[in-house]
Amino acid sequence: MYGSGIPLRYTTFPLPIAGVSREQHQTYVNGNDPVTGKPVMPQIVDALTKPLTEEEQLTGLPEGVVEPRLLSPDTEENLQEYLKEKDWTDYLPVVLPTEERVAAMLKGTSHKTDELVQTIAWPGGGRQLTVEKVAVSAVMAGAKPEYFPVILAASTMVPFGNSTTSMANMIVVNGPIRNELGMNSGIGAMGPHNRANSTIGRTFTLLSKSAGNLHAGKTTFGSLGSNLQYNNLCYAENEEALPDGWESLSARFGFKKEDSVVTVGVGWTYVSCVGELVTTYPPQMLIRDYMKSLSGMGSVACLCCDPLVAGILYDQGFTTKQKLAEWLSKNVSIPVEQFWGNGIITTGYTNIALQGLEPFATWLKLPPGSMVEPFNNPNAINTVVVGGQSNTIWFITDFGLRQGISVDDWR
Amino acid sequence: MPRITCEDLKQLMDKGEEVVVIDTRDSGSYSTDHIKGAINIYYNPAGDPIERELPFMALPADKLLVIYCDCVDEADSSIMATELKAQRYDINNIKVLEKGYMRWKELDYPTEKSEY
């Protein structure tokens, strides 16, 4: 298969690999490739011994499949069905991206229609994601043209995570653009209650499926998938309600207050505190307890808390977000066997621990029952203040937030 | 991306400074030989970006990271350094090894084999 820029030949094994016996693995070896239907071992021998075909002798990054720019005219019902057949939607109705609607969306930016936003190289070859293609998905998601700069900035991080686990994304917006677009950072900000929050997040999904070429069972194999991928946890930070001394998320990444910024995170877990805070158990203690259920991968955690919670934490002495991160970093400890008991840690860390990277090299040798602090890097623990102050609610998540992206650069 | 010479890296290592040296070559090349003490994070530009980024998360944010490859103009190590920067690693803590592994070998600096 010519798909990675070099003439590699692939044999595909059935899933799952994890959680099944060696005997089951042996049946995979003795069985057929689930993609080609051919016996695995003869296929491997052929791949290693038969001369390369003309296509396999090509070099460079292959072109991805290019779909026609325009579809033939048809009824709305048929076109909606066509988009579903192509698996380019989230199976909710979309706004049909007519030339007029796409042209209107493109007025939301000064960037040229054919400007390249990024080339998505995996899976399946290099696909050119242009400003116009982003506009098509933005229209389909129901976005307004004024949302387009935020969408373009976020689209530099498309597609969403491709994993057999339930990987998902978080999209946080900071700066003046929040209020310009009427984004919700108050009551219900993380629910389906605001057009900008909803459609910016949804566009990320539609782009991931179309330009990102992610199709369940074909190019992506998340066993359960994630409901968070419908909207990618898109919301704005409630900057106006930050306690004194607490900087916004984008300020933490070095942006100024007047900068509009979108930050995209990758993670899996989203746990609600469920009930209000009580006076007998300070919030940092309960947050610490909940963090013990996270994998600790990369020392990453992201607390999403109502301004009321932020205020109580402030009164507890956490006069900056960083102080809270440092306290959590030192106070969350778990048994070492729990740390290594998570497959994402074992897969991601074992080899480099065996190669000597600390502290994992030491942790690998510890006896069961030894306690370790998996959140050993406070800089990877973020806090975002969001919510409408109707209750002292918070979520702890394991979303790793990447460097913020300037929205102003995409106006 | 900021560079560090092999001579300067060797000096830091000799002084016992905390440096994490990352070999971006494939695991076979790493097993055969690599800079003594280096860990292996294979840089596959055409692979799944998430799979590529997972090992990054194990890297300490408070130590100097020195990345090397054996390609022309340090291409792979420069790209990995750029990706680490995007993951919010402090750019002051990331260096690309100038002239890469070939230069390290030319200088006959310490290398080792690995079974991992």
What pLDDT, on a 0 to 100 scale, did the predictor assign at position A291? 98
- Residue A188 pLDDT > 50: yes
How many CA atoms lie within 13 Å of A97's alpha carbon, on the beta-carbon side? Answer: 25
Inspect the interface and report whether the beta carbons of B116 and A354 lie closer than 8 Å. Answer: yes
What pLDDT, on a 0 to 100 scale, did the predictor assign at position B110? 96
Q: Check if B41 contacts A (Cβ < 8 Å).
A: yes
Which residues pair with residue A126 across a beta bridge?
A63
CB atoms within 10 A of CB B19: 18
Of A187, A327, A176, A320, the residue nearest A243 (C-alpha): A320
Q: Check if B72 contacts A (Cβ < 8 Å).
A: no
Last residue of a domain, one of A42, A66, A90: A66
What pLDDT, on a 0 to 100 scale, did the predictor assign at position A136? 98
| More confident call, B49 vs B67 | B67
Residue B40, both tokens: 């292996």
- Domain count within chain A: 3
Do A357 and A277 have their domain in common?
A: no
The CA distance from A202 to A232, in Å, is 7
User: Is the Cα dihedral A265, A269, A274, A279 positive or negative?
Assistant: negative
The CA distance from A11 to A77, in Å, is 40
Assign B104 a pLDDT band (cuts: 50, 70, 90). Answer: very high
Q: Check if B16 contacts A (Cβ < 8 Å).
A: no
Do A379 and A397 have their domain in common?
A: yes
What pLDDT, on a 0 to 100 scale, did the predictor assign at position B89? 77
Mean predicted confidence (pLDDT) in B30-36: 95
Which residues pair with residue A303 across a beta bridge?
A383, A396
Do A241 and A312 have their domain in common?
A: yes
| More confident call, B49 vs A333 | A333
What pLDDT, on a 0 to 100 scale, did the predictor assign at position A7? 59
What's phi and psi for A404, nearest 5 deg? -60, 155
Of A373, A400, A384, the residue nearest A300 (C-alpha): A400
Of A239, A141, A257, the residue nearest A183 (C-alpha): A239
- Residue A372 pLDDT > 50: yes
**Closest chain A CA to residue B18:** A358
What pLDDT, on a 0 to 100 scale, did the predictor assign at position B40? 94
Assign A3 a pLDDT band (cuts: 50, 70, 90). Answer: very low
Do A296 and A365 have their domain in common?
A: no
Nearest chain A CA: its distance from B59 CA (Å): 8
Nearest chain A CA: its distance from B27 CA (Å): 11
Last residue of a domain, one of A19, A46, A66: A66
The CA distance from A161 to A222, in Å, is 10
Mutate to test the interface with B, among A10, A255, A322, A355 (most CBs of B within 10 A): A355
The CA distance from A368 to A341, in Å, is 11
For chain A, the three-class secondary structure string (H helix, E strand, C coil) is CECCCCECCCCCCCCCCCCCCHHHHHHHHHCECCCCCCEHHHHHHHHHHCCCCCHHHCCCCCECCCCCCCCCCCCHHHHHHHHHHCCCCCCCCCCCCCHHHHHHHHCCCCCCCCCEEEEECCCCCEEEEEHHHHHHHHHHHCCCHHHHHHHHHHHCCCCCCCCCCCCEEEEEEECCHHHHCCCCCCCCCCCCCCHHHHHHHHHHHHHHHHCCCCCECCCECCCCCCHHHHCCCEEECCHHHCCCCCCCHHHHCCCCCCCCEEEEEEECCEEECCCCCCCCCCHHHHHHHHHCCCCCHHHCEEEEECHHHHHHHHHCCCCCHHHHHHHHHHHCCEEHHHHHCCHHHHHHHHHHHHCCCCCHHHHHHCCCCCEECCCCCHHHEEEEECCCCCCCCEEEECCEECCCEECHHHC
Residue A78, both tokens: 């048929």
Q: Check if B55 contacts A (Cβ < 8 Å).
A: yes
Do A27 and A109 have their domain in common?
A: no
What is the average pLDDT value for chain A, to the nearest integer?
Answer: 92
What pLDDT, on a 0 to 100 scale, did the predictor assign at position A19? 76
Do A36 and A111 have their domain in common?
A: no
Assign A2 a pLDDT band (cuts: 50, 70, 90). Answer: very low
Mean predicted confidence (pLDDT) in B14-19: 94
Residue A245 CA, chain-centre distance (Å), reads 29
Do A302 and A193 have their domain in common?
A: yes
Mean predicted confidence (pLDDT) in A209-224: 90
Sort strands A261-267 and A270-272 into parallel, antiparallel or unpaired: unpaired
Inspect the interface and report whether the beta carbons of B50 and A167 lie closer than 8 Å. Answer: yes
**Closest chain A CA to residue B54:** A348
Nearest chain B CA: its distance from A283 CA (Å): 27
Q: In terms of residue numbers, what domain contains A280?
A: 76-333+374-410
Nearest chain A CA: its distance from B4 CA (Å): 21
What pLDDT, on a 0 to 100 scale, did the predictor assign at position A6? 55
- Partners of residue B38 in chain A, C-beta under 8 Å: 355
Interface of A with B in 352-371 (CB under 8 A): 352, 354-358, 360
Inspect the interface and report whether the beta carbons of A352 and B48 lie closer than 8 Å. Answer: no
What ipTM was assigned to the predicted interfaces of this complex? 0.87
Collapsed DSSP state (helix, strand, coil) of residue B4: strand
Nearest chain A CA: its distance from B18 CA (Å): 10
| More confident call, B86 vs B9 | B9
The CA distance from A365 to A385, in Å, is 39
Of A371, A347, A342, the residue nearest A359 (C-alpha): A371
Last residue of a domain, one of A39, A66, A93: A66
Tens of pLDDT, residues A80-92: 999 999 999 999 9
The answer to whether residue A269 is domain-embedded is: yes
**Closest chain A CA to residue B115:** A355
What pLDDT, on a 0 to 100 scale, did the predictor assign at position B46? 67
Do A192 and A47 have their domain in common?
A: no
Quick one: DSSP state of residue B57?
G
What pLDDT, on a 0 to 100 scale, did the predictor assign at position A63? 67
**Cβ-contact A408, A259 below 8 angstroms:** yes
What pLDDT, on a 0 to 100 scale, did the predictor assign at position B58? 85
Q: Considering only A11-20, A129-138, A229-238, B94-103, which range has the smallest mean pLDDT?
A: A11-20
Residue B98, both tokens: 């100038």
Inspect the interface and report whether the beta carbons of B54 and A297 lie closer than 8 Å. Answer: yes
Sort strands A371-372 and A270-272 into parallel, antiparallel or unpaired: unpaired
Assign A184 a pLDDT band (cuts: 50, 70, 90). Answer: very high
Do A32 and A5 have their domain in common?
A: yes
What pLDDT, on a 0 to 100 scale, did the predictor assign at position A60? 67
The answer to whether residue A197 is domain-embedded is: yes
Assign A190 a pLDDT band (cuts: 50, 70, 90). Answer: very high
Give me the residue from B46, B54, B88 closest to A403, CB to CB: B88
Tens of pLDDT, residues A109-130: 999 999 999 988 777 778 899 9
The answer to whether residue A244 is domain-embedded is: yes
Tens of pLDDT, residues A237-291: 999 999 999 999 999 889 999 999 999 999 999 999 999 999 899 999 999 999 9
Inspect the interface and report whether the beta carbons of A403 and B86 lie closer than 8 Å. Answer: yes
Do A385 and A353 have their domain in common?
A: no
Do A101 and A81 have their domain in common?
A: yes
Q: Check if A61 contacts B (Cβ < 8 Å).
A: yes
Most confident of A15-24, A57-66, A119-128, A400-409: A400-409
Do A307 and A390 have their domain in common?
A: yes
Quick one: DSSP state of residue B28?
H
Nearest chain B CA: its distance from A399 CA (Å): 12
Inspect the interface and report whether the beta carbons of A351 and B116 lie closer than 8 Å. Answer: yes
Give me the residue from B45, B57, B114 closest to A355, CB to CB: B114
The answer to whether residue A71 is domain-embedded is: no
Nearest chain B CA: its distance from A409 CA (Å): 17
Distances (CA, A) of B65 to A123, A380, B97: 29, 17, 10
User: Is the Cα dihedral B52, B57, B60, B61 positive or negative?
Assistant: positive
